Chains A and B, each alone.
Chain A
Amino acid sequence: MKPATRRVLALWLAPAERPETEPDLRDLAAWCRRYAPWTAPMRDGAGVWIEAGGCAHLLGGEDTMCRTVVADLARLGHAARAGLAGTPGAAWALARTAKTPFAIAAPGTEREVLAPLPVAALRLEPATVEGLSALGLRRVGDLYPLGTTASGRAELARRFPPLLLERLDAALGLTFEPISPIRERTRHIARFTAPEPVRDGEAVTRITQRLVETLCPLLARDGLGARRVTLTAFRADGRAARIDCGTARPLAEARTLMRLMALCLPRLATGPGADAFALEATETEPLRATQARLDGRKDHEDDALTLAPLVEKLAARLGSGRIGRLAPRPRHLPERAQSFVGAFADMPDTPDAATAARPLRLFARPAPVAAAATAPEGPPAWFRWQGAVHAIARAEGPERIALDWWRLDGWQGDPPAVPETLADAVRDYWRVEDARGARFWIFRDGPWRPDAPERWYLHGVFP
């Protein structure tokens, strides 16, 4: 049935303001139901349809309705334009081409209103628009002479896809273009409403426990695990308190999730008390089933899996930014050859830098030691460190590592001596063992020169 007084409001969002994903546009359409019961996201992702027939007078007339909708969306951060007409096609065309925030075609005026608009406003394929343009058919009105006679329509149909006439007819109201309403996206959310505001920590924990127990089966049903959950407490003073909890792996197991939540809960500021709670899995990932091995242990991801709960606990307690580990970094210079990465970050896949062994403990700052080589470019016979003299029994090397020549300008390293020339910017590392079997990593800063004093440093110790 074609309603006699159909009015459609097209909300066209500027491309930059469009939500990234289709579900978000659906959310936006749902949000728009505050204006009229029948709304839908546009299938081309350009905006939202609102069937406005019989609703405008509730909002103070069509003018006010349009103005309100555009202003409300602007507050949500969307630059939108509105078009209101008797057909979706005309409404879209108006919204798309309007120079003002909104444009309205009075009932029955679609034909005149559309005539001066470019044919692209009919939502045609680019190739069709181009083909029409080459023929000089650039405004919707240019199509009327052909589109309204039987022979003209046949000629157009020979030359262009059927969509052209369909869209033209629908925009003019000669045929009915339906708008299909939205369906909600599945969200994984558990809600709880308390009879009176809750402040007490234990009560909050109990409520959270219930929420977790509700949420986890929802996730498991869909084969998903939570990577991030958000607990929202709607407070009696009208504000909402929120905590976010990240996980190191997809979780759908209530006990584990609850343990994690318990660590986060102290951060939830319930203030004067909250009477409603919602727990939502805001990021999910498919659950990976783990296969138990014959020996009863889990498969290859052993370490990661056993470490994960610890890392999660520490991160939940201290904040995830504070938990990290050392990762190898592809650099020759020993002090640059590792970096601190976050606990949840993937381990970079880096080949080991040096062919020669590195000390287990590298000093943060190389310690100057007194030493002297016995032969040109050779290792020292002894060195003195912290008052003790170490006679060197064995030495292996040298491993010559050149400093980054492009960083020599204003060199801020350790040792701090700024190399004067490129030839000075080298270190000769030796692995040495003293008479008692203790092993050290020492280097000479700069090249060996017969006439110049040598600068030796201890950079690490081997176990």
Chain B
Amino acid sequence: MKPAPAFAELAATSNFSFLRAASHPHELVERAAELGYAAIGIADRNSVAGLVRAHVATKAAGIRLVPGCRLVLADGPDVLAYPADRAAWGRLTRLLTTGKRRAEKGGCILTMADLAMLEEGFAGIVSAPQISHEEVELLSNKINILKNIFNVSFHVAATPRFDGCDGPRLARAAQLAEACALPLAATAEPLMHAPGRRPLLDVLTCIREHCTLADAGLRLAANGERHLRTRADMARLFAGDPAALGAGMEIAGGLAFSLDDLAYEYPDEPVPAGRSADGQLARLALLGARARYPDGVPDKVRAQIGHELRIIRELRYAPYFLTVHDIVGFARSRAILCQGRGSAANSAVCFALGITAVDPARSDTLFERFVSAARNEPPDIDVDFEHERREEVIQHIYARYGRERAGLAAAVIRYRARSAVREVGKVLGIPEGTAGNRAEKQAAALARELIGFPRHLSQHVGGFVITRGRLDEVMPIENAAMEARTVIEWDKDDLDALGILKIDVLALGMLSCIRRAFGLIAAYHGRALELAAIPAEDAAVYEMLCRADSVGVFQVESRAQMTMLPRLRPRTFYDLVIEVAIVRPGPIQGDMVHPYLRRRSGKEAVEFPSDELRAVLGKTLGVPLFQEQAMRIAMVAAGFSPEDADRLRRAMATFKHTGQVSFFRDKMVEGMTARGYDRAFAERCFQQIEGFGSYGFPESHAASFALLVYASAWIKCHYPDVFAAALLNSQPMGFYAPAQIVRDARAHGVEVRAVDVNASDWDCTLEEAPQMALAVNGVQPKALRLGLRQVRGLSEADAKRLVAARALDGPFTDAGDLAARTGLAKAVLSRLARADALASLKLDRRPALWAVAGLEDAAPLPLFAAAERSNGGPRLDDAPPPPLPIMGAGEAVAEDYRMVRLSLRDHPARLLRPRLGDLGFAPCAGMARAKHGSWVRTAGLVLVRQRPGTASGVIFMTIEDEDAVANLVVWPKSFEKFRATVMAARMVGVAGRVEHEGNPPHRVTHVIAERLYDLSDLLDGLDEAGGRMAVASRDFQ
């Protein structure tokens, strides 16, 4: 048989034309290579978002990519444009930027006239879906206009559609081409890499059109012919027109552009004139190191810095470090707390520059985890900033580098298992229908295909791209959903693949909290502190953590961490690093937690298979817990080079390319057995490494976080008053609601005072407290005054007006005075009254509300009001108190929760105690004393519900009553029975068995729930007003 003629398909559409095509870019590339195409061109609708992925795939597939874009015009046929060189690419991305900037987020508006921006240097294909007789003339006019606007060689797409009219249509296309003196180009305009994607394409169409398959009708394609066809097929279809068949190859041959041409250039602002970037970096690193080590830079660190600077020079990364230094320097100059996280903490240079805080003298850094010559991609420096002030940093970056040079990276939002199943179910009509088994299987198969499909582009949490030249000539920029933000079209992986710098400017609530705490300590306790000045290795802090007394402490406040703390019993900073790293899916799934704990408690001997591994695993008692250790094992035990080890880590992180993982498994296991290790041990090692490929922490990252764990724990330990105030003022953040933070503060001897118009600021503040017999860790805590921010629905502006009025003329004397001097609306004053914030005016809730309701609607001008007061004018509150019924205790607590999210008055469980007693529910405090395995009944408000991915469907609930907290474990079989209660109850009763681990005071107690009772109605019954008790729980975060 005659070999099929050569062919190149240029007009493929990938699934980055969201919901319009049914194949990933790499699938198109791989299939085109399989079919022996000469080249594959991908042109998505007004987008180049999928091109980098396609570009990466071509390298493995060995086929050429012709990057392009389908320009969908408002006033003309689609124009597929393929840039011929780097400059033309820049004009294309600028055109797309223009179109996107004028549209709403996600849209792009382009007209024929805009194509003038492209000037020249393109190949173009005009594609019109249907050409009727009448349209030939119209289209030929438009094409002639296009030819004038846009100086390129056009082809007219000839696309068989199998709609019964192919013959006449192709004839008309030829007629059109002739009328415009343009050649034809044969294409299938594929939307799929293979015909088997037709069902998925139909599903995508239905998702786009918001309809079901049954109702979709003509919105679906009549057939599934728009796929990559075999060359023989194309040759047969275009047997009569070999010129059209060869046009794709001819076009591709004339284009030289590849995405590899997008050489990235660092911005040069941070390099002072007259200096080289490397020289400047070396100078700053030296100066920084001297400041970090006032007693002299240790030799180890000096050597490490030298080593790093050499690699950085070799790879020309100096401008990157300088740029990050520049941004961190800005934050410092504005007193914005910041700290590097992630693998950058492996770098002594980053430590010296003040970007990271993990002392390389004290830890075992692995620079290759951070920068690797083999990786040929830029290092990733992630810096956390105070979450409330990060925007200042972002706007600084825009201001310094300009909007045309800086943009946020995109995040590709993809279909995940849950959304895919939901969407496919909707389209197939499965929930309502009487779907048989086969239909469900079909749906499951489709959902599997849909998982991983991009849905839309969003913005990355903080990844900034900064370029030396115009960013919009490298990639299109669009408006973000958030004001004053611009986002590029490519995500993190795309940028990595093209070697483009990205700086992660991240937000961390705990940094805001710590900054506030430092401010409060300085203001109320007269002690100036900063992160680096917190006393190290304080035994009281560790003792507190060992008791799992960690509400509010960074990272270790979750239920899982609280369970781990008394078992691990951290005594040194390094223990905290382990604590942070060990409660992670990686170590848990790799089954490293229990061996580590056994060895730590001396129940198991600490052994090392070899001395070289003792050096790697010594500090974690022979159990690998960190990514760096995995890499080091591969290096020392299996003979991997540092670069290979890094490739191994990356292969594990991208779990999809399973082929690579097995390659590394062989390499590692063979390497280790060749060096005399037991094969079974080698296999186990690899499995462990596999376990935390993507879910383990690097040690450097754990160490960065552990610093904040220690800092926040230290503040909580010594200044519980300050800690609670800082946490409340930084809400929303962390794991616990204000009610639990306040409860915890009171448990630590802090007096908490209610919100009051005559005492509260917007933020929570501290006040002098009566001398206490027992000071906490040597410091006498102040009283915590709740801020007006706790009042639900009160705006900051209104609160500040109130505070300003009070500061001006002293305390308010009565409701009329409050209204007159603040000028607040009656609705706002009513809110304050309902929050019981007028107590200092001798007005309880109802009388306060009565007084506020009686005020004139428009507050009089402050001047007249003052005059009236001094004249002894009429005063509302001279009247005798109104005959209003007294509010009951239950309703008062309910109002507290409703209006300020917590109650200082009483705990609902205490009010319900007699009823709970009648129902046989004992206080939570009794659980710790109950015998192991004994049957108990208890009840409380639900604080937290969690279903960790690692716990195979087990649900953890934390409940509290007036005195204590109890931890419930709900196994799947109980969950099935009591699903509604577990998911929705605000108060639960539970019957089950007690399980203890360890001994007091380091004992962990659980109640294994056998039966659950929804007591929410009982709770709501407390409120005589008939409302809901607004207790908040954190559910499944």
Contact = CB atoms under 8 A, between A and B. Distances in A.
Interface of A: 131, 133-138, 142, 145-146, 151-152, 155, 158-159, 329-332, 351, 353-356, 376-377, 396-402, 404-406, 409, 422-423, 426, 429, 431
B218 interface: yes
Centre residue among B162, B219, B220, B846 by max chain A CB count within 10 A: B162
Contacts of B884: 135-137
Interface residues of B, number: 42
Given A402-B222, A406-B213, A426-B223, A158 B854 contact: yes
A354 B830 CA distance: 66
Cβ-closest 3 pairs across A and B: A399-B164, A356-B164, A330-B217
A422 B198 contact: yes
A197 to B, nearest CB: 54
Contacts of B862: none
B269 to A, nearest CB: 57
13 contacts: A133-B1025, A134-B834, A134-B1025, A135-B884, A159-B850, A159-B853, A331-B217, A332-B220, A353-B218, A354-B164, A377-B236, A400-B225, A401-B222
Nearest to B1026: A133
Interface in B403-462: 428, 436, 438-439, 442
Given A137-B885, A146-B883, A402-B224, A329 B217 contact: yes
A397 B165 CA distance: 6
B903 to A, nearest CB: 17
B882 interface: yes
B165 A355 contact: yes
A355 B198 contact: no
Given A158-B854, A398-B162, A409 B438 contact: yes
A155 B163 contact: no
B164 A355 contact: yes
Centre residue among A138, A398, A402 by max chain B CB count within 10 A: A402
A399 B160 CA distance: 11
A353 B216 CA distance: 12
A119 to B, nearest CB: 12
Interface in B184-234: 195-196, 198-199, 202, 213, 217-220, 222-225
A422 B213 CA distance: 16
A401 B1025 CA distance: 65
Given A136-B886, A396-B167, A351 B850 contact: no
Contact of B202 (A155, A397, A405): A405
Contacts of B850: 135, 159
B218 A331 contact: yes
A396 B163 CA distance: 11
B828 to A, nearest CB: 15
B359 to A, nearest CB: 58
B198 A405 contact: yes
A137 B167 CA distance: 83
B849 A134 contact: yes
Contacts of B223: 400-402, 426
Given A136-B884, A355-B130, A409-B438, A399 B162 contact: yes
A283 B438 CA distance: 49
A423 B195 contact: yes
B887 interface: yes
B809 to A, nearest CB: 26
B429 to A, nearest CB: 9
Interface string B828-860: 001000100000000000100110011000000
Nearest to B214: A406
B846 A135 contact: yes
Given A135-B853, A426-B223, 14 more contacts: A134-B834, A142-B885, A152-B882, A155-B882, A329-B217, A355-B163, A355-B164, A355-B165, A398-B162, A401-B222, A405-B198, A406-B439, A422-B196, A423-B195
A136 B1026 CA distance: 12
Contacts of A330: 217-219
A158 to B, nearest CB: 5
Contacts of B217: 329-332
Contact of B164 (A376, A397, A404): A397
Contacts of A136: 846, 884-887
B222 A332 contact: yes
A343 to B, nearest CB: 24
A84 B130 CA distance: 76
Nearest to A376: B236
Contacts of B218: 330-332, 351, 353
A137 B885 CA distance: 7
Interface in B1002-1037: 1024-1025
Centre residue among B164, B220, B846, B854 by max chain A CB count within 10 A: B164
Contacts of A152: 882-883
Contacts of A429: 164
A249 B236 CA distance: 58
A26 B439 CA distance: 53
A431 B439 CA distance: 35
A396 B164 contact: yes
A11 B796 CA distance: 50
Nearest to B855: A158
A281 B582 CA distance: 81
Interface in B626-652: none
Given A159-B854, A355-B165, A406-B442, A135 B849 contact: yes
B237 to A, nearest CB: 9
B222 A131 contact: no
Contacts of A158: 853-854
A406 B428 contact: yes
Interface string B926-961: 000000000000000000000000000000000000
A76 B716 CA distance: 71
A353 B222 CA distance: 10
B907 to A, nearest CB: 23
A409 B436 contact: yes
A348 to B, nearest CB: 11
Contacts of B830: 134
Contacts of B428: 406
Nearest to B236: A376
A375 to B, nearest CB: 9
Interface in B804-841: 830, 834
Centre residue among B219, B442, B886 by max chain A CB count within 10 A: B442
Given A131-B853, A152-B883, A331-B217, A405 B162 contact: no
Nearest to A146: B883
B882 A146 contact: yes
Contacts of A426: 223
A134 B836 CA distance: 12
A351 B217 CA distance: 11
B935 to A, nearest CB: 42
Contacts of B198: 402, 405, 422
A356 B199 contact: no
A422 B225 CA distance: 12
Contacts of B167: 396
Contacts of B202: 405
Nearest to A130: B1025
A402 B683 CA distance: 51
Nearest to B446: A406
Contacts of A351: 218
Contacts of A431: 164
B443 to A, nearest CB: 9
Nearest to A397: B164
Contacts of B222: 332, 354, 399-402
Interface in B870-893: 879, 882-887
Contact of A422 (B199, B849, B887): B199
B238 to A, nearest CB: 14
Centre residue among B202, B213, B217, B219 by max chain A CB count within 10 A: B217
Centre residue among B163, B167, B213, B436 by max chain A CB count within 10 A: B163
A356 B162 CA distance: 10
B199 A406 contact: yes
Contacts of A155: 854, 879, 882
